[in-house]
Structure 1
Amino acid sequence: MNSMGDSKKLHIAMFPWLAFGHLIPFLELGKLIAQKGHRISFISTPRNIERLPKIPSNLAPSITFVKLPLPHVENLPENAEATMDVPYHIIPYLKKAHDGLQQPLSQFLETSAPDWIIHDFAPHWLPPIATKLGISRAFFSIFNASFLCILGPSKSSVTNAQEPRTEAKDFTVPPKWVPFPTKIAYRLFEAKKIFENFDENASGVSDWFRLLTIYLGADALAIKTCTEIEGEWLELLGELHDIPVIPVGLLPPPAQESGDSNKDSTWGTIVEWLDKQEKGSVVFIALGSEIQPTQQDFTELALGFEQSGLPFFWALRKKIELPEGFEERTRGRGFVWTGWAPQLKILAHDSVGGFLTHCGWGSVTEALQFGRALILLPFLTDQGLVARFLEEKQTGVEVPRNEENGSFTRESVAKTLRFVIEDVEGKIYRDNAKEMATIIGGKDLHSTYIDKFVEFLENRGRVKEG
């Protein structure tokens, strides 16, 4: 139903970064905007578009997929169009290829003249193009507000008043621009990697340059969060960037969204096993499509699951070498699944009591939607800060790690699992996760956020050139 009455139908272009952790929330947001009667052009590469979930038939006329072929770049494997297709160290070449979409995207924007483009952090070259064409720009962040605040301000007045962060240890304490008490900061082993984001990479620019340019060129910052969870951080974010910050809610996808029909058969096998387990007893383990731990990490994880004595369902993207005899010793109690797994359906199952996660914001909000307590094992840039945020909320506990190199032991994995899932002292985490489900699972609440965002888009419309 069109909520706008007789007002103008907007044409909105959407341009996510080439990662499914970005593509899926962008698509979810696009579907919700289309439900309000607006027209969406969803822009990505051919292979990525083919791998997206199918659009509901009632929205299909309102959403057009625009396929821009990804230019060939040296060191980027053939058919690699998303971060899940390449090892972590190859991602800068994917960014370089993504920058090669500048000309075809410009041509599309010029010929189709959308009212808005909702874009990601990566296309630093986009703001001047859109400005010249009179197209309003919204940066949609799939990262949460606390992460963006800790990362840093774009306003020079804020940075000039602070001591610059020039060494890794400077990132291991909360920055001085955060005016309220918090313990959210990087661990030393994470901070050492952070400099990669501030240094020029193989794409020709740094990730921080991309983000800063996007902040300075956007008319608004839309963000996948809500004030009920990140109120003070959202307020601070607006001050750090001097830009309208609009939370769009957590975009919780419907639990029973089936995805591909040929994948539905896998659910039969999985649910048969889950149905045999006691309520709230199973640890679901999934580290996302982009995380590629070392063999040593995998071994310690596996032996930690074994040592915990808890039932577990471990979803692996690719087959790995498990410790000798591991599957035999854990047979019946543990289930190792290789390939695609229906994460939402698994998290929704009553037998699942906890979720060991890499702390991607999307996965975390999916788990909390069903009140699952979290065992936190972050690997990439934003994930460590998300883990600390969740610890502050007492909805999850982080697996202890070596501060210098980030290594962890089977003992620390087993102890953390038992603490969160069954120990009396861990009950507060289980209770808080259930309480969080009332916020994250509240469809009416998130609908209100979408209404406000769409109202903002409608009122702003096209900007005048110049």
Structure 2
Amino acid sequence: MEKERTMSKILMFPWLAHGHIFPYLELAKRIIKRKNFYIYFCSTSINFSSIKNFIENFFLNNSIELVEIHLKPSPELPPHYHTTKNLPSNLNSTLLKAFQTSSSSFSDIVSILKPDLVIYDYFQPWSAKIASLQGIPAVHFVVTSAATASFIYHHYANWDANFPFQELTIKEDEKKSIDNLIEFVYTNVFEKDKDIFFVNYKLSCDVVICKTSKGLEGKYIDYISNECKKDIIPVGPLVSDASEIDEESLEILKWLNTKPKYSTLYISFGSEYFLSKEEIGEIAKGLELCSVNFIWVIRFPVGETVNIEEALPRGFLEGVKERGKILEGWAPQANILAHESTGGFMSHCGWSSINESLYFGVPVIGMPMRIDQFISSKMLGEAGVCVEVVRNENEVFKGEEIAKAIIKVILENLNGEEFRRRARELSEEMKIEEEQAIDETTELLWRLSSQQFFFLGIHLHNYLLPWHHPTAPLIPTKQLIPTKQLTTKIPFPLNPTLAS
């Protein structure tokens, strides 16, 4: 009689962006608490420092092991650019192309580690195929919104049907940003596969898991599930608790303690978008016009030596010193959003930032800059928790419109309270949902990792040969005892023929 499994090994493989890496880490942290999972976490070495900090901060050293994926070397893309963080925007497509060369390295990793399950991201459908060919089930983990998936499916794969979500309609200039990415991905990632938008869904074993919650995106989850004929399992917002307070963070929170309830605006545009001097100037103008308290995080690309005073309009810092704090590079975002003095979050509407803001019950002032952010901002507006700043006829944000949005969310008693009320409602729904969502996801991943497919990857077979449905027996995976070192280095290439 087969013994009951005591440990399952999962290989997690996110895209090389912090907005993808950290949701995968949050998922790992949560499932490890519930079941005896051992996680191999696959990324490039340049990302290891921040990943190790997360692992050590949450005492996960014995449960998560780093595995290095290798991209082919290139003069224009040295190893310190094997991440989207601080990557010059002109190299985004270069990194995505280079990432596709890592499939042979990933194949070697799977062969050596023999995980019980692979969890993979959007830009590497080949990882699911590699796993399936080695008899290992793979599950797609989506870290963008179901609203974005709904929009993309309709407008690029099902354009002749009636779109049921008119609130997600975006302007042509905004759509162009998505068009450009889709065209590039279509050509360079999916090999002009006609099923570009849902090939990852089809390759995913049984279900697709998604960083979202039913309370916020129930109708979009149902729509995508119906269209792709696959169960979409929301795993919750995956928001980290407010972090431990260091000395720098303590000073910020002490400053917030001096401000009235809901009076302060938090401003941040994520780790991968850098405001231009013109954009900085218009935000500063908006802040001058509305006299609100604020904490503003400004980031500059690595290698650029920029003085904060030079980046801001002359006299701005002196004029706002009593009611504003400017931080360069980093801020304890969760602590700030969780503070009762924070009344709004001016954001680019990145999906992780949105989830964090709503989790702490803070309404959003939307300034979307690219791709899915336009859709997320519209979706939040329809949910009653966001005011999007209006662009002018040249599609530029101006200080006057920025001030109007701030006043509506922070300073107007009636409107502001309504936005906060709705944000609090969504926060409560998220927190009620999340424990059950993670419990169900944990059981699902445990079940899937407890079996491997004997028939040369039954799901790959069904994707390539949909008309032929053989019956394949499910057999238990052998229990392997992983090493306890923090980082595994896979020789590259193990097999020269795989890299050719």
TM-score computed with the length of structure 1 as normaliser: 0.88
Contact 2:124/2:189 (8 A) holds in 1 = no
Structure 1 residue corresponding to 2:280, chosen from 298, 316, 320: 298
**Correspondence for 2:489:** none
> What residue is the counterpart of 1:388 in the other structure?
378
Would the alpha carbon gap of residues 121 and 257 (structure 1) be closer, same or farther in structure 2, given more than 3 Å must change?
A: farther
Provide the secondary structure at the position in 1 that maps to 2:221.
helix
Partner residue in 2 for 1:23: 21
Distance in 1, matches of 2:187 and 2:297, equals: 32
Match of 1:449 among 437, 445, 453: 437
**Do residues 66 (structure 1) and 64 (structure 2) align?**
no
1:313–1:334: 8 Å Cα contact kept in structure 2? yes
2:145 corresponds to: 144
Sort the Cα spacing of 1:37 and 1:208 in 2 relative to 1 into closer, same or farther, 3 A: farther
Unaligned runs of 5+ in 2: 301-305, 457-500
CA displacement, residues 341-389 of structure 1 (integer Å, 9 cap, x when unaligned): 1111111122111110111111111111221121111112111110011
AA aligned opposite 2:430: I
Residue 372 of structure 1 pairs with residue 362 of structure 2:
yes
Further displaced range: 66-75 or 35-44: 66-75
Q: Aligned-pair distance for 1:196?
A: 0.7
Q: Return the alpha-carbon distance in structure 2 between the equivalents of residues 242 and 34 of structure 1.
A: 29
**Alpha carbons 2:44, 2:82 under 8 Å: kept:** yes
The one-letter code matched in structure 1 to 2:254 is E
Classify the secondary structure of the residue corresponding to 2:85. Answer: helix
Partner of 1:225: 212
What SS does the corresponding residue of 1:65 show, helix, strand or coil? strand
CA contact (8 A) 1:14 1:26 kept: yes
In structure 1, give the amino acid aligned to 2:418.
I
2-structure distance, mates of 1:455, 1:254: 23
Return 120-129 or 325-334, whichever deviates more: 120-129
Secondary structure at 1:84's aligned position in 2?
coil
CA shift, 1:6, in A, is 4.5
**What are the equivalent positions in structure 2 for 1:1-400 lying under 5 Å apart?**
6-35=4-33, 36-52=35-51, 53-55=53-55, 59-152=60-153, 159=158, 162-163=159-160, 176-179=161-164, 181-200=165-184, 204-205=188-189, 211-219=197-205, 220-257=207-244, 264-318=246-300, 319=306, 321-400=311-390
Q: 1:114 to 1:214 in 2, by over 3 A?
A: same
CA contact (8 A) 1:144 1:225 kept: yes
CA RMSD of aligned residues (A): 2.4
Distance 2:111 2:409 in 1: 53
The offset of 1:203, in angstroms, is 8.3
> Quick check: 1:353–1:372 contact (8 Å CA) kept in 2?
yes
Deviation of 1:202 (Å): 11
Task: Give 1:255's aligned amino acid.
Answer: A
Give 1:305's aligned amino acid.
L
Using the TM superposition, give the Cα deviation of residue 64 of structure 1 relative to its aligned residue in structure 2, in angstroms.
Answer: 1.2
Identity of aligned residues (%): 31
2:132 and 2:440 mapped to 1: Cα distance? 24
Following superposition, the deviation at residue 25 of structure 1 comes to 0.5
Q: Secondary structure at the match of 1:61?
A: coil
Q: Supply the distance in 1 between the matched residues of 2:191 and 2:408 (Cα, whole angstroms).
A: 37
In structure 1, list runs of 5 or more residues that go unmatched: 164-175, 259-263
Question: Structure 1 residues 265, 409: closer, same or farther in 2, change over 3 A?
Answer: same
Q: Mean alpha-carbon deviation: is it higher for 248-257 or for 338-347?
A: 248-257
Contact kept, 8 Å, 1:15 with 1:42, in 2: the verdict is: yes
Question: Does the C-alpha gap of structure 1 residues 208 and 335 become closer, same or farther in structure 2, counting only changes over 3 Å?
Answer: farther
State the AA in 2 paired with 1:105: F
- Alpha-carbon shift at residue 86 of structure 1 (Å): 1.0
Give 3-state SS (helix, strand or coil) of 2:326's partner: strand
Amino acid at match of 1:413: I
Cα distance in structure 1, aligned partners of 2:162 and 2:75: 41
Bigger CA drift: 292-301 or 413-422? Answer: 292-301
In structure 1, distance between residues paired with 2:275 and 2:5: 51
Q: Are 1:421 and 2:416 counterparts?
A: no
| Cα 1:11/1:177, change in 2 over 3 Å | farther
Give distance in 1, aligned partners of 2:280 and 2:211: 31
Task: Report deviation, 1:188.
Answer: 2.3
- CA shift digits 1:91-117 (9 cap, x unpaired): 111112222221121111012111211
Q: Distance in 2 between matches of 1:142 and 1:331?
A: 38
Higher Cα Rg, which structure: 2
CA deviation string 1:122-169 (max 9, x = no partner): 113223211110111111111011111111169x9x73xx43xxxxxx
* Aligned-partner residue type, residue 54 of structure 2: K
Question: Take 2:425 and 2:5, find their aligned partners in 1: how far apart are those partners?
Answer: 39
Checking the alignment, whether the CA contact within 8 Å between 1:200 and 1:206 is kept in structure 2 is no
For these two proteins, the number of residue pairs brought into alignment is 437
Q: Deviations over 1:267-290 (max 9, x none)?
A: 133123222212210100001011
Superposition misfits of 4+ residues, deviation over 6 angstroms? none
What secondary structure does 1:267 align onto? helix
Secondary structure at 2:39 match in 1: strand
Counterpart Cα distance in 2 of 1:57 and 1:357: 27
Q: Is residue 401 from structure 1 mapped to residue 385 from structure 2 by the alignment? A: no
Q: Give TM-score, length-normalised by structure 2.
A: 0.82
2-structure distance, mates of 1:79, 1:294: 23
The code of the aligned residue for 1:71 comes to K
The 2-side partners of 1:398 and 1:6 are apart by 53
Residue 433 (str. 1) matches residue 433 (str. 2): no
User: In structure 2, what is the Cα distance between the partners aligned to 1:207 and 1:33?
Assistant: 34
Cα separation, partners in 2 of 1:60 and 1:205, compared to 1, 3 Å: closer
- SS across alignment from 2:184: coil
